[in-house]
Amino acid sequence: MPDLARTPGPRALGWALNQPVTHHGTRLPVGASAGFCHRHDLPVPDLSAALTHADAAMYANKDRGRRGRRNTHN
């Protein structure tokens, strides 16, 4: 299990997922959408609820446009 005090978290993940990639000498922009939620904020802290809330956060983020971040519990 990772040391949670040392886990970079969603900001680091967002930064890493949006770094350009070099392919045959050409820098290509890359992007991805991700959603997250805090388990302790869920009515029932199980995997199904966590995935449902994280999925909702991801689609809310997509609706906001590129480079956005969204947590379902903001």
pLDDT at 23: 95
Please give the structure tokens belonging to residue 67: 């480079």
56 lies in some domain = yes
pLDDT at 67: 53
CA angle 69, 2, 54 (to 5 degrees): 30
| DSSP line for 24-48 | TTEEE-------B--GGGSSS-SHH
29 lies in some domain = no
Amino acid letter, residue 74: N
List beta partners, residue 28. 21
Per-residue model confidence as pLDDT tens for the chain (74 residues): 556 566 677 778 878 888 899 999 999 998 887 888 888 888 888 889 889 988 998 888 787 765 555 444 44
Global pTM value = 0.55
Q: How many domains does the chain have?
A: 1
Tell me the residue range of the domain where 59 lies.
34-74
